[in-house]
Amino acid sequence: MKICFCLHNHQPVGNFDHVMNSAYSDCYLPMLEVLENHHGINSGIHISGTLLEWLALNHPEYLERTGELCRAGRMELLTSGRYEPILTIFRRFDIIQQIKDYSDFLEQLSGRRPEGLWLTERVWEPQLPSILSEAGVSWAVVDDIHLKRAGAYDLFRPCITEDSGKTVKLLGSNRELRYRIPFSPVESVMEKLKEMHNAGASLVFYGDDGEKFGVWPGTHKLCYEDRWLDRFFSEVESADWLESRLPSEGAETETAGPFYVPASSYSEMGEWTLHGLQRDEYDDLREKLNAQGKSDTAEVFLSGGFWRNFLSIYPESKELQGRILSAEALVRESGNTEALHHFWRSQCNCAFWHGVFGGIYLPHLREAVWKELNRAEWDALNTIHGYPLIKSEDINADGHDETVIISKTRSLLIYPDYGLTVSELTFLHPDGEPVPLGHVLTRQREEYHDSIPEAGSSNKAKTIHDGMVSKEEGLAGKVTIDRWRRMCFTDLVMPSSTDWNRWKHCDGEIVHFQKSCLSSSRSISDSVADFKGEFSSGDLKVRKIMKVGLKKPSIRVRSEYSVRHGDRAGMEICLNLMTGESPDRYFKIDSGEKHLMSFEGEFHCRRIEVSDCWRKVRMVIETNRETDIWVTPLDSVNRSESGYESVHQGAAFYISGIADEAGSFKLEIIMRMEAFNDS
């Protein structure tokens, strides 16, 4: 029986350097050393573009050794979208170009042009065969569940699929092996392989994340100190009934099909894309089928949700994807290769979704892809002398146009019909270095919020799908769900009895105007972009004007509230400085003492100064009158591969006052961003 091994090594754009170094020393390097020492083991390996570029810069000898294994015929490299995009959510031409570009690069490294593709997060849609075929891909890795959902049950050979007459072979990674390796004893894995051989299997394919072999909890000790991987490869080499082959050799064996794979990913991903009532109903149905001994049937026919649902679950995800799609024409018009690669890096999938890994909940990953997009636009606009860029289009596919404004000093995304608010708020240094400040994640309920365990720890080697512990005490009591999207210049009205604490927890009596547009308009001159809007919720009304300077980095916003006598009214400004505890990120009230971004409390003033000494930018917020300032950090409670944790997503400043006897209150805010050195 032939066995094909394939490993996928990936680190996201923007990951911390110490994390990359740890993964290299704990996983990638020892894995390579084991493969070098076992001459009877052939393998495929996929290294994402992000990781490969980091390796080229920090450990070029690793790539040299990888190239030697490839030239010796013991290893082959798989291609993909250059920086691990979800292939189906970006334009066809762009994805084909990315794959070809990365294949060119890998051919130079290994001496052989890749024939196979590692499918990012195994997200499959039916149009992919024609896309992959045009990109020069002849086979791709999927999970065996993909093939089962297509009606294929002979999973011990490649299956063929097609779109528009273009065919691609699919190698289905065996689920039983994925869950056993490396968490079961070597003898148990060999027994399972022998069982497959005795049942007549001529080919078995194993493809999985390389990080299982050193990065996942406890696996470095298991795989290398306890020599699990070395012992397993020795057993494979010594088995006279088992032969290790390259995945491309496996793909050349007799195929089954054609089969047509429906839109799907791996099983857990399908579950993570379901939220709210959908997830409750799904779990209930799965439990009933499992109780009847039909768990395998449930997995095949209950595939969960569709990956693109993440774009509707998380508005921040859809916003980023929409901005990327919107920027493509500009980047391509410029012909700037650096801009194109920044553009491709912005598509890295990790910050678009959430499952076991933190994903979209990790601010540094969100910041990284936004910076790549901002840098792509900066390079492109400088190439074609295109400043300022102002365009209105439906970025988030909600039926309303948003407005993108990019000057030499900042990039903004304005929602005229969504309360005349601002989400993307990026300062651009004179050298083009972007500083995203407005990318605050709105907190929402996740299904695991109802079952967060107590704090604990475990060093036992385990799959990330096993039970997790909390990384700190009392997390369950810290869950807060936002009732409105946390953005800049959100108008909020509340009864006079509503205090700071009730605002902090998004009390149900608080009225926002993000979905209550009566009218909106826009006009542009050489120096300013003018926006006007009227919004209402029942008897409460807001008339609003926003003036965005095109030559000076200032935003002036004026709201006139018609509410009830004694109501509190004002605007909320949410900013993300990446951490709440670092002393080099702080705010001052009326030039007073410094407060960390994790501070919460109440003030009365006319000026807020927010400073980020790490990224060298200051935000100054001034009002036309003395106002109350309420401040709270915005911390999410979410899970990562290491357990449940609290993550700082930003800070909210509510600038407000009390309506007079006629129910009127007027507030004007001027915001400006500036570079500075706090030396």
Flag whether pLDDT at 462 surpasses 80: no
Which residues, at least 6 apart from 649, have a Cβ–Cβ distance to it below 8 Å? 361, 363, 440, 441, 443, 486, 576, 634, 635, 636
Same domain, 346 and 401: yes
The residue-averaged pLDDT of 549-562 equals 94
Same domain, 293 and 362: no
- Residue 296 pLDDT level (bands cut at 50, 70, 90): confident
**pLDDT tens readout for residues 601-650:** 999 999 999 999 999 999 999 999 999 999 999 999 999 877 899 999 99
Same domain, 258 and 281: no
Same domain, 524 and 393: yes
Same domain, 355 and 479: yes
Same domain, 419 and 297: no
CA distance 571 to 574: 10
Asked whether residue 62 is domain-assigned, the answer is yes
Asked whether residue 383 is domain-assigned, the answer is yes
The residue ranking higher by pLDDT, 447 or 318, is 318
606: Cα within 13 Å, side-chain hemisphere: 5
Instruction: Look up residue 624 and give its two tokens.
Output: 């036309």
Same domain, 287 and 339: no
Asked whether residue 470 is domain-assigned, the answer is yes
The mean of the pLDDT values for the chain is: 95
Percent of the residues in the chain that have a pLDDT greater than 70, as a whole number: 98
pLDDT at position 153 is 86
Same domain, 295 and 320: no
**pLDDT tens readout for residues 33-72:** 999 999 999 999 999 999 999 999 999 999 999 999 999 9
CA distance 346 to 377: 11
pTM, 2 dp: 0.95
pLDDT at position 465 is 54
- Cis status, amide bond into 258, omega within 30 of 0: yes
Instruction: Look up residue 435 and give its two tokens.
Output: 């500083």
The string of DSSP codes covering 311-346 is HHH-HHHHHHHHHHHHHHHHHHHHT-HHHHHHHHHT
- Residue 463 pLDDT level (bands cut at 50, 70, 90): low
Domain containing residue 583: 315-675
Sign of CA dihedral 126, 127, 131, 136: positive
pLDDT at position 668 is 98
Instruction: Look up residue 110 and give its two tokens.
Output: 């290994």
Flag whether pLDDT at 679 surpasses 60: no
pLDDT at position 552 is 84
Edge to edge, what strands does the sheet with 166-173 contain?
A: 116-118, 139-143, 166-173, 159-163
Asked whether residue 310 is domain-assigned, the answer is no
CATH number at residue 216: 3.20.110.20
Same domain, 135 and 172: yes
Asked whether residue 132 is domain-assigned, the answer is yes
pLDDT at position 454 is 80
Same domain, 259 and 269: no
CATH number at residue 369: 2.70.98.10
Identify the helix (H) or strand (E) that includes residue 188.
helix 186-198
Flag whether pLDDT at 466 surpasses 60: no
Q: CA 401 → CA 76, 89, 303, 394, distances in Å? A: 47, 20, 34, 4
- 231 neighbors 201 (Cβ within 8 angstroms): no
- Cis status, amide bond into 182, omega within 30 of 0: yes
Examine the fold and report which residue of 233, 263, 293 is the final residue of a domain before the chain moves on. 263
Give me the number of domains the chain comprises.
3
Flag whether pLDDT at 486 surpasses 60: yes
Same domain, 376 and 415: yes
Same domain, 336 and 290: no
